[in-house]
Chain A
């Protein structure tokens, strides 16, 4: 098997592991926040704010991961330049943007989260570019399919 052939399956399974980790974090997050509070990394009594931010972001993060899974499965089947992939990329872009915005308030209580805000914001822009490229590619494919 060529290295290029492995790219999609490896990404697909890594994404699935991330999905499981994200679901697990829904249950262990309160304990993590309590621990962060005991080692005094957090601003005092910020547990509620951090947890509220986390649980607000969680559905969007899971939705984005699920969309990535759908996207990768379609690419694995050979359906690369299809409208459904553009829609999936739009959903992922929206989720990244929402997570970035929702992390702004908790980042005041836990400063390292500012990095996540910047990363998710930048990821939103990058996915937007990929989405536009995919949209153009779908148009080219359609034109190619309708050339006789």
Chain B
């Protein structure tokens, strides 16, 4: 998928672990891992709200669109 999730980067910037974020936003670490690894097919607005609130960032800081040049990946 050409949407890249920069959650790891934001966690590093805020010096926060995945487990801590998961606990703060009331999400299971397994679900957060789905989001971090890019396996997620959709993100709820409430989840976005909680992540942005805890990481003090904008949704745009977490997601990035990258043009996919590989025809096999399209």
A4 at the interface (CB under 8 A from B): no
Instruction: Determine the distance from Cα of A147 to Cα of B34 in the docked complex, in whole angstroms.
Output: 9
A5 at the interface (CB under 8 A from B): no
CB contacts under 8 Å to A, within B11-66, are 27, 31-32, 34-35, 39-44, 47
Instruction: Determine the interface band of chain B, counting residues with CB < 8 A from chain A.
Output: 10 to 19
The smallest C-beta distance from B17 to any residue of chain A, in angstroms, reads 17
A142 nearest CB neighbor, chain B only? B41
A1 at the interface (CB under 8 A from B): no
B39 nearest CB neighbor, chain A only? A146
| Residue numbers in B under 8 Å from A142 (CB-CB) | 41
Instruction: Determine the distance from Cα of A54 to Cα of B26 in the docked complex, in whole angstroms.
Output: 60
| Count, chain A residues at interface, CB 8 A | 5
Instruction: Determine the distance from Cα of A148 to Cα of B40 in the docked complex, in whole angstroms.
Output: 7
CB contacts under 8 Å to B, within A95-148, are 142-143, 146-148
The smallest C-beta distance from B35 to any residue of chain A, in angstroms, reads 5
A143 nearest CB neighbor, chain B only? B41
| Residue numbers in B under 8 Å from A148 (CB-CB) | 27, 31-32, 34-35, 40, 42-44, 47
B43 nearest CB neighbor, chain A only? A148
A146 nearest CB neighbor, chain B only? B41
Instruction: Determine the distance from Cα of A148 to Cα of B35 in the docked complex, in whole angstroms.
Output: 7
Residues on B facing A (Cβ under 8 Å): 27, 31-32, 34-35, 39-44, 47
Residues on A facing B (Cβ under 8 Å): 142-143, 146-148
